[in-house]
Amino acid sequence: MKQTKEKKTGIFQLLLLWVLIPLLFASAVVLVIAKFADVNVFDKAKEWSESIPFTGDKEKQDDDAESLVAGEQVVTLQAEIKDKEAQLFKLQQDLETSADENEKLLIEQERLLDEIAVLQRDKDDSKRKFQEIVTTFEQMSAKSAAPVIIKMSDAEAIRILTSLKPDILASILEKMPAEDAAKYTTMMTK
């Protein structure tokens, strides 16, 4: 019987030596490391115990869940605000760009209207001068007008001849050589 008691004591000693003492030593080492790492082990243990279902404070869990949902909503709303601000900024830039383009187009429109006015005045002056030339040819005798028209370019001569009154045109063509009269008559019919 003595041998069995020694074995039981030996097993208990082995259990104490091989399991419990190393476990206590490891726990002490972990506590020392946590102390140097500025981790409060007791607060962490309390947090972990509260996160285990049915062990923490029910009201605190509900408050935590509500604050988590509210926090998510705040983050979502802040993201939406930033998105809307970005859209607003882009629209403001587009508006400024459109305003600049509109101003440039208005300036270009004014320039073109001024250019049209100048061209219209030039056209009116040219028309008036041309009308004066036609009046001059109408007042000239057919004998003196015919050689002048023959010396002009065909385009100028046709332009003047088509603007003359028919009776004056007939008398000028009559005083021209036959080839020239035929040439101008053919050109006027085209």
Record the pTM. 0.41
Same structural domain for residues 43 and 64? no
Q: What is the pLDDT of residue 36?
A: 86
Same structural domain for residues 80 and 113? yes
* pLDDT at position 5 over 80: no
Is 1 within a domain? Answer: no
Confidence grade of residue 78 (pLDDT, cut at 50, 70, 90)? very high
Is 64 within a domain? Answer: yes
Q: Determine contact, residues 64/71, Cβ cutoff 8 Å.
A: no
- What is the torsional sign of CA 110, 114, 115, 119? positive
**Cα–Cα distance for residue pair 151/154, rounded to 1 Å:** 9
Q: At what angle do helices 21-36 and 41-51 cross, to 10 degrees?
A: 100
Q: Residues 21-62: pLDDT tens digits?
A: 888 888 888 888 888 888 887 887 777 777 776 655 555 556
Is 166 within a domain? Answer: yes
Same structural domain for residues 64 and 108? yes
Q: How far is CA 37 from the centre of its chain?
A: 53
Is 158 within a domain? Answer: yes
Is 2 within a domain? Answer: no
Same structural domain for residues 18 and 44? yes
**Cβ count within 10 A of residue 141:** 10
Q: Over pLDDT 90: what percentage of the chain?
A: 35
* pLDDT at position 179 over 70: yes
Out of 99, 127, 155, a domain closes at: 127
Q: What is the pLDDT of residue 3?
A: 54
Domain that holds residue 179: 140-190
Is 132 within a domain? Answer: no
Is 75 within a domain? Answer: yes
Q: Provide the number of structural domains found in the chain.
A: 3
Count of residues for the chain? Answer: 190
